[in-house]
């Protein structure tokens, strides 16, 4: 028995919500360790759909402890609104079931204004952010001017920190032609929300250490995907945090040995939201078909996802860089009925063949995928719960993906429903 970290192996939207929810039935503690409310994890339980952005997926399971780690950036207003939303659907969220690290950095209204103003100023060179202030908050964290949750317990220090923070951001907003923020207004807003959010505060590193000593199973829940990692992704079209499994330790406040098995969530094809390179994108009927069948719209933004064939080179790179031990393959059923299916098995750039995805921005945009074609299947895979229920051609497709990415499929998801899952190996018992 051990702990499990779940990360995305593509550009996010791989179906982490369902897999984390499925795994949380075996866990005692579920921890979010990076990102903000730009994440979007959709769960479907007994026909009820839950769309989570900040709350760990374990929150919908009674008796599980949910933790928001220090590596997450938290919009306190968004968090309280999300708690209200899930409460209306019958999920009871209390100070005993949810703990927020006292040292998380807070997303403030000024961060959202700066995020949106900067993105507008970029024009055609926009990064494609959600405009929710995640990037500017991480910038403030690194620049050591951020406001942390624990600061709300020290009003005098908070007032000074807010003033110093706005010296920087108001100058930037003024330069961008945007309205500035009044320090007193922001301070009063924070003091108003403090009594509502502070009851959830805790030294979560200590709670996790106690859970480890008691041999409790901990599930570390990542957001976005590895190709959006600020170091290893398609920079600068990336998120503002590290999405690799290595960040589960620092983002939760545990030692690296605590993380355990790393499960990479991988879609049976590829999608991306927003701008940035996408070698296997299909701007044609194939892409439209995948998007329509897969209901490919961002959980957070509602933006239509770009769709394309499976990129084995990219996923293999994500596995090696991200420390992934095994895969959870999702949305295989979206490929049902296609006469043929293509897989990217290499790239060509300036007449040379590459077996990896290069780091340069121009190189990433200009690689040409080299495809291998496999026969599709006419039978349905939707709802299958055993290998015996899958068409032979679908099994061959999965096995070929395993060969190409040099890893094994630990879980196979065949619909959004929790139990429509083929378990090859339980990650908690590897």
Q: In sequence order, which residues have a C-beta less than 8 Å from that of residue 287 and are 6 or more positions away?
A: 281, 306, 307, 308
Active-site residue, selected from the candidate residues 21, 37, 41, 75: 41
Backbone angles phi, psi at 17, to 5 degrees: -55, -50
Instruction: Note the maximum CA span of the chain.
Output: 67
Q: In sequence order, which residues have a C-beta less than 8 Å from that of residue 327 and are 6 or more positions away?
A: 9, 263, 264, 265, 266, 319, 402, 405, 407, 408, 409, 410, 411
Helix orientation angle between 312-322 and 392-405, rounded to the nearest 10 degrees:
50
Per the annotation, the verdict on 41 as an active-site residue is yes
CA atoms within 13 A on the CB side of 193: 22
Per the annotation, the verdict on 37 as an active-site residue is no
Locate all alpha helices (DSSP H) within 66-154, ordered by sequence. 76-88, 109-122, 134-143
Neighbours of 419 (CB within 10 A): 8
Report residue 361 as tokens. 């921005």
Active-site residue, selected from the candidate residues 13, 75, 229, 325: 13
CA distance 333 to 352: 35
CA distance 162 to 183: 6
CA distance 152 to 200: 13
- What are the catalytic residues? 13, 41
């Amino acid at each position: 028995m051990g702990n499990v970290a779940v990360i995305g192996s593509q550009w996010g939207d791989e179906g982490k919500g369902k897999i984390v929810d499925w795994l949380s039935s075996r866990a005692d503690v579920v921890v979010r360790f990076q990102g903000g409310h730009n994440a979007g994890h959709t769960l479907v339980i007994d026909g009820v759909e839950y769309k989570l952005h900040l709350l760990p997926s374990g929150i919908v399971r009674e008796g599980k402890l949910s933790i928001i780690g220090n590596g997450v950036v938290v919009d306190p207003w968004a968090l309280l609104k999300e708690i209200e939303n899930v409460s209306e659907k019958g999920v009871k969220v209390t100070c005993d079931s949810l703990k927020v690290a006292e040292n998380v950095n807070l997303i403030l209204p000024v961060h959202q204004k700066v995020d949106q103003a900067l993105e507008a100023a970029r024009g055609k060179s926009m990064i494609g952010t959600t405009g929710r202030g995640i990037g500017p908050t991480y910038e403030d964290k690194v620049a050591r001017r951020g406001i942390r949750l624990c600061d709300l317990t020290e009003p005098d220090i908070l007032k000074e920190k807010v003033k110093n923070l706005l010296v920087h951001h108001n100058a930037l907003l003024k330069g961008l032609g945007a309205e500035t923020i009044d320090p007193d207004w922001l301070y009063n807003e924070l003091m108003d929300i403090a009594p509502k959010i502070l009851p959830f505060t805790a030294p979560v590193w200590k709670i996790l250490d106690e859970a480890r000593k008691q041999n409790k199973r901990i599930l570390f829940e990542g957001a976005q995907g590895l190709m959006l990692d600020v170091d290893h992704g398609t920079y600068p079209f990336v998120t503002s945090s590290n999405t690799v499994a290595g960040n589960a330790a620092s983002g939760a406040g545990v030692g690296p040995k605590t993380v355990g098995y790393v499960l990479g969530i991988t879609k049976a094809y590829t999608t991306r939201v927003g701008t940035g390179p996408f070698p296997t994108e299909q701007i044609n009927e194939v892409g439209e078909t995948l998007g329509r069948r897969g209901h490919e719209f961002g959980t957070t933004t509602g933006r239509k996802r770009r769709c394309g064939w499976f990129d084995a080179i990219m996923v293999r790179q994500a596995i090696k860089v991200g420390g992934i031990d095994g895969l959870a393959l999702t949305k295989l059923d979206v490929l049902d009925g296609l006469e043929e299916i293509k897989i990217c098995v290499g790239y060509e750039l300036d007449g040379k063949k590459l077996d990896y995805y290069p780091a340069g921005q121009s190189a990433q945009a200009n690689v040409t995928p080299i495809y291998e074609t496999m026969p599709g299947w006419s039978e349905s895979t939707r709802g299958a719960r055993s290998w015996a229920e899958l068409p032979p051609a679908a099994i061959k497709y999965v096995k070929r993906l395993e060969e190409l990415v040099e890893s094994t499929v630990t879980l196979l998801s065949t619909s959004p429903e929790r139990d429509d899952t083929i378990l090859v190996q339980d990650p908690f018992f590897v």
